[in-house]
A and B are shown apart, each in its own frame.
Chain A
Amino acid sequence: MAKPARGTAFFILLSALFLSGGAICAHAAEIHVFAAASLTDALKELSAPYEKASGDKIVLNLGASSLLARQIEEGAPADLFLSADEEKMDGLEKHRLLLAGTRRSVLSNTLVVVVPADSGLKIAAAEDLAGPRVRVLALAEPQSVPAGIYAKGYLQGKKLWSRVIDKVVPTENVRAALAAVESGNADAGIVYKTDAGISKKVKIAFEVPRAEGPKISYPFAVVAATRQPDAARRLLAWLESADALAVFQKYGFLLAGG
């Protein structure tokens, strides 16, 4: 082919890209869901059937709830916020960043202490975490990230926080704490039971009894700045349907108030 044809072909390709992009946007709603890192696997499983049934597209932004709340405060394009603690939602509600009347607490979770799958450490109670054989303890960042705040609350309740603080490695989010234990670089970690459940490289040393741990609650809400409140409300309602809740429960989540 002669040389000029290449330019034409390139132009056609470029136009096709733009047009197809435009077509996707025009068709269905694209719902931006900002969700706590611990919800990652459940939400990925839930996305496909919902997208198929509704025609809407779900775009997940996963991370520490603290980071997501911060992004929403700064005007990030979120339609739905699924937080791992009430405090983050309170902050957004106070600044009127939530669509009134859409907030509800949907799920709960359990904390567990995990160790690498091949670890020989004997950890059966919180006191063991303060022992000399645990040199590195991975937690989500305990000042801001919900999983870290819960873990700190648990250890404080046990009067152990000051004894473990020097070996705490704070991580970006709860999944990063899980990864630190998986890689063996941390001797132990405190994560949600649902996180431990998806990993073959860690084992649960013990589960924090619900009465001893802080109350864990996952509130969901539509973000006030959403441009598609109806689509966002529909998805939120569906996340509370029996089908969706069954998937959450399959991953080990508990139902709020249950």
Chain B
Amino acid sequence: MSAEEWQVVAFTLRVSAFAILLILPPGLAAAWLLARRRWAGKSLVETLITLPLVMPPVATGLLLLKLLGRRGPLGGLLHDRFDLDVIFTWRAVVAAMAVMSFPLLVRGARVAFEGVDPRLEQIARTLGAGETRVLLTITLPLARNGILGGVLLAFARALGEFGATILVAGNIPGRTSTLSLSIYQLVQLGKDDDAFRLLAVAVVIAFAAVWVSERFLARRDAP
């Protein structure tokens, strides 16, 4: 593997991890609210969160492009106020990955929260623990494996993101080129051998992520 290829691999891992860190707090909050609370508009929010999972990634990408473009509501603000560009930069890669993997994270975490016996939380409350303490000492530790499984699955999804990324970030060597984008580019250039090397790396990373995630999810039911 050449230096550029390692750069692509490292970049992909870095932005994927950053995207997951970014969506972790809102993702866990959404998952907990969906699992533990009843509120108006819950099923609507639930559907909206799932949308990126089933919509064509390119369609999601187009919405992001309109939102984050220099003339979009959010991108325009960043450009005019802070002189910050999103489209065609690594920030756009992170945005695409974050949006596309959000549903997987929420689904995983939600199932994990639902798997925690509410009676245990109730007991803690009767013993005088506040809601925050219940969450931090009972719910989160018990849901840990399920959440980690969801995190890894979301991470794997982020690694492979293509459709939305190519629209909002382009495929700029050394700046926005991820594993998926590089493989696509190499195939177009007719460099199939190089593409296969990156493909092998992608398979290894994805395999590891899914395998570890399955282990966590399998351990979830254990006491």
Q: Is the CB of A184 within 8 A of B188?
A: no
Nearest CB in chain A: distance from B11 CB, A = 16
**Is residue A70 contacting chain B, with contact meaning CB distance below 8 A?**
yes
Contact indicator B190/A185 (Cβ below 8 Å): no
Contact A185 B87 (CB under 8 A): yes
**In the bound complex, do residue B171 and residue A170 qualify as a contact, i.e. CB atoms below 8 Å apart?**
yes
Interface residue tally for chain A (C-beta within 8 Å): 20
Looking across the interface, which residue of chain A has its beta carbon closest to that of B177? A170
Does the CB pair A170–B170 fall under 8 Å? Answer: yes
Inter-chain contact B88/A136, CB cutoff 8 Å: yes
Question: In whole angstroms, how far apart are the Cα atoms of A66 and B186 in the complex?
Answer: 12
Q: Which residues of B contact A143 (CB under 8 A)?
A: 189
Pair B170/A171 contact, Cβ less than 8 Å: yes
Query: Which residues of chain A are within 8 angstroms of B70 by Cβ–Cβ distance?
Result: 183-185
Q: Count how many pairs of residues, one from A and one from B, have CB atoms less than 8 Å apart in the complex.
A: 44
Decide yes or no: A136 and B188 within 8 Å by CB, A170-B171, A170-B172, A183-B65 being known contacts. no
Interface size class of B (residues with CB under 8 A): 10 to 19
How many whole Å from A36's CB to the nearest CB in chain B? 14
The main secondary structure of chain A at its interface with chain B is loop
Which parts of A170-216 form the interface with B (CB within 8 Å)? 170-172, 180, 183-186
What is the chain B residue whose CB lies nearest that of A185? B87
Q: Using Cβ atoms and an 8 Å threshold, which residues of chain A touch B190?
A: 70, 73
Min distance, Cβ A91 to any Cβ of chain B, angstroms: 8
Report the Cα distance A52→B70, complex, angstroms. Answer: 44
Q: Is the CB of A66 within 8 A of B88?
A: no
The answer to whether residues A70 and B85 also contact, given A184-B69, A184-B70 and a CB cut-off of 8 A, is no
Instruction: Check B171 against A66 for contact (C-beta < 8 Å).
Output: no
Q: Which residues of chain A (147-191) have a CB below 8 Å from chain B? A: 168-172, 180, 183-186
Residue A135 interfacial (CB < 8 Å) = yes
Judge whether A105 is part of the interface by a CB distance below 8 angstroms.
no
Residues of A contacting B71 in the complex (Cβ-Cβ under 8 angstroms) = 183-184
Contacts of B173 in A (CB 8 A): 170
Is the pair B189, A169 in contact by a Cβ cutoff of 8 Å? no
Interface residues of B (CB under 8 A from A): 65, 69-71, 85, 87-88, 166, 170-173, 185, 187-190
Sorted nearest first, the 7 A-B pairs with minimum C-beta distance are A185-B87, A184-B70, A169-B170, A184-B71, A169-B88, A144-B189, A185-B69
Can you list 15 A-B contacts with CB-CB less than 8 angstroms, sorted by A residue number? Answer: A64-B188, A66-B189, A67-B188, A73-B190, A136-B85, A141-B188, A144-B188, A169-B172, A170-B172, A172-B171, A184-B69, A185-B65, A185-B70, A185-B85, A185-B87
